[in-house]
A and B are shown apart, each in its own frame.
Chain A
Amino acid sequence: MKNYETVIGLEVHVELATKTKIFCGCSTSFGGDPNTHTCPVCTGMPGSLPVLNKKVVDHAIAVGLAANCEINRSCRFDRKNYFYPDNPQDYQISQLYEPICQNGHVDIDVDGKRKSIRIHEIHMEEDAGKLIHDEAENMSLVDYNRAGVPLIEIVSEPDMRSAEEVIAYLQKLRTIIRYLGASDCKLQEGSMRADVNLSVREAGTEKLGTRTEMKNLNSFKAIARAISNERQRQIDIIEAGGRVIQETRRWDDTKEESFSMRSKEDAQDYRYFPDPDLPGIFISREWIDEIKASEPEFKDEKKRRYVSQYGIPEEDADIITDSKHMADIFEETARLCGQPKKAANWLMVDTIRILKELSKEPEDITFAPENLAKLIKLTEAGTINSSVAKEVFEKVFADNIDPEKYVKENGLAQENDESALREAVQKVIDDNPKSVADYRGGKEKAIGFLVGQTMKAMQGKANPGIVTGLLKELL
């Protein structure tokens, strides 16, 4: 078999974090009853007029700048015509002829190598409604709460060659967009959606093969599986002497295969034309400068600073800065307790572990940096020992409790008083003659058991350092 190269370009839709829809004052919030966030504009009633939400343009410019794009000083909206019940106007308002951003790039790191992925364009558009099938009626039901929710579509050049590069690119976009606060970018919930355009060609050749577009990819794992499956499907067709058909396919992640979405009914002819209801947009130099000036410190920069300013390992800095929310918690905690390495450790080890157990993301952390800082201070001062600290942290994570109060109220403070501990240690020595004999006979390990017994007798609140010292002294 010949050696094949996979060529991938991505179309990424991102739902913008605005309070209202792109062209009307309806709420974009999730969880409302069907059609409770609709009005004549977003349901395409005759005579209604769309008015653009300025925040959408702000977000689009911010993402464009962060992705090194040129911002088109003048842009406008076009109508993409198609008939489907999720689209009440019979056209989607999008941008074809003059998109807001063009010619950008983001850099990704895969296997220690940096690669630039070019961005062809970013445009603004509106989302469609949601259809569900009603078995009893054998009809479809439509909810327009999502119709008119603002999206940006980020179109890359076909610069990716593997699933690893695709995922690195998506993670990069996601980090940038989350840092900007432009979207929460959740693949599972559909606030970030990636369509994969994939073709294969014989390694070393220039000409692109026929590509397919894969839809319905709801996780990084699904994307990786779909890419490997589609690559193989196309190679099999070519090896058998066939030709790949340009089409849209739908990925079924449970069956781990894709299905053609082509049918007579899907014939498309969008007949794009400029939307006469929406005046053009002129983006002044001042507007761009203002957005540029409010840019946050992005991940790469922040990571470098953490390593030099706080002396934490690069890998730790990499993980902490994956989420701006976690990075903010880290810095505030470090500032409050003056122990950046300890702060990093609580986030890297315990926080990440709990998040994984709960299938949550760093964005979901709700505890206050003040409380983590207090916990670190209590541990450093020797008020609580490390196992109690872990127990208290679970409470901080779950309920954002005040560790000082909690330790006091639950009597968790560590016993540091030598005379109080001496009594307990003596009792353990008296009760465990065998271990005492083992230790005296040269079995150093036996002391561990005796420390454990003392801790148990003290309900875990003894200072283990003092206990060990006392045992050695008394034996």
Chain B
Amino acid sequence: MATKIDDDMIEYVSILAKLELEGEARAQARSDMEKMIEFADMLNEIDTEDTDPAVQVIDMENVFRDDTVTNGDNREDMLANAPAKKNGQYMVPRTF
């Protein structure tokens, strides 16, 4: 069954994702979201009545590191990915 994304939901998701969706972009987002949910809805076709929830597909536990510093100063490499930077810091839209 196709899921409808109503205006309230679009508004709510855009607040959470800090996106401003207007006009064409809003219509596009609505259609994309509906398609995504429809895709995920396929899972509902499977009977999981007797299946335990799986948190992970890898069968491991207790994978630890020792508390030893292994990383040096990688600042230049790290900041190479930043669209904007200043004084060794990432520059982002004003938050407060």
Residues of A within 8 A of B (CB): 18-20, 24-27, 32-40, 43, 45, 51-55, 57, 74, 76, 83-85, 131-134, 137-144, 264-265, 267-269, 274, 276, 278-282
Residues of B within 8 A of A (CB): 12, 15-18, 55-58, 60-71, 73-75, 78-79, 81, 84, 86-96
B contact residues around A141 at 8 Å (CB): 86-87, 89-92
What CA separation (Å) do A141 and B96 show in the bound complex? 11
Contact A52 B75 (CB under 8 A): no
What CA separation (Å) do A143 and B95 show in the bound complex? 14
Q: Which one, B65, B75, B81, B87, contacts A25 given CB within 8 A?
A: B65
Can you name 9 A-B residue pairings with CB atoms under 8 Å?
A45-B81, A53-B67, A131-B95, A137-B86, A139-B92, A139-B93, A140-B92, A279-B63, A282-B61
Q: Shortest Cβ distance from A79 into chain B, in angstroms?
A: 12
Contact A133 B96 (CB under 8 A): yes
Q: Which one, A76, A84, A279, contacts B58 given CB within 8 A?
A: A279
A interface secondary structure, majority:
loop
Q: Shortest Cβ distance from B29 into chain A, in angstroms?
A: 16
B contact residues around A84 at 8 Å (CB): 95
Contact B92 A85 (CB under 8 A): yes
The 7 closest A-B pairs by CB, nearest first: A25-B70, A55-B67, A54-B64, A141-B89, A279-B60, A274-B55, A142-B90
Known: A45-B81, A281-B61. A85 touches B88 (CB 8 A): no
What CA separation (Å) do A38 and B74 show in the bound complex? 7
B contact residues around A25 at 8 Å (CB): 65, 68-71
Known: A139-B94, A267-B15. A26 touches B71 (CB 8 A): yes
Contact A34 B71 (CB under 8 A): no
Contact A20 B68 (CB under 8 A): yes
Q: Shortest Cβ distance from A24 into chain B, in angstroms?
A: 7
Contact B56 A279 (CB under 8 A): yes
A contact residues around B63 at 8 Å (CB): 51-52, 278-279
What CA separation (Å) do A32 and B89 show in the bound complex? 13
Q: Shortest Cβ distance from A6 into chain B, in angstroms?
A: 30
B contact residues around A144 at 8 Å (CB): 90
A contact residues around B89 at 8 Å (CB): 34-35, 132, 141-143
Q: Report the nearest B residue to A33, measured CB to CB.
A: B88
A contact residues around B79 at 8 Å (CB): 35
Q: Report the nearest B residue to A54, measured CB to CB.
A: B64
Q: Report the nearest B residue to A27, measured CB to CB.
A: B69
Contact A34 B88 (CB under 8 A): yes
B contact residues around A133 at 8 Å (CB): 94-96
Contact A137 B73 (CB under 8 A): no
A contact residues around B78 at 8 Å (CB): 35, 38-40, 43
What CA separation (Å) do A454 and B66 show in the bound complex? 66
Contact A54 B61 (CB under 8 A): no
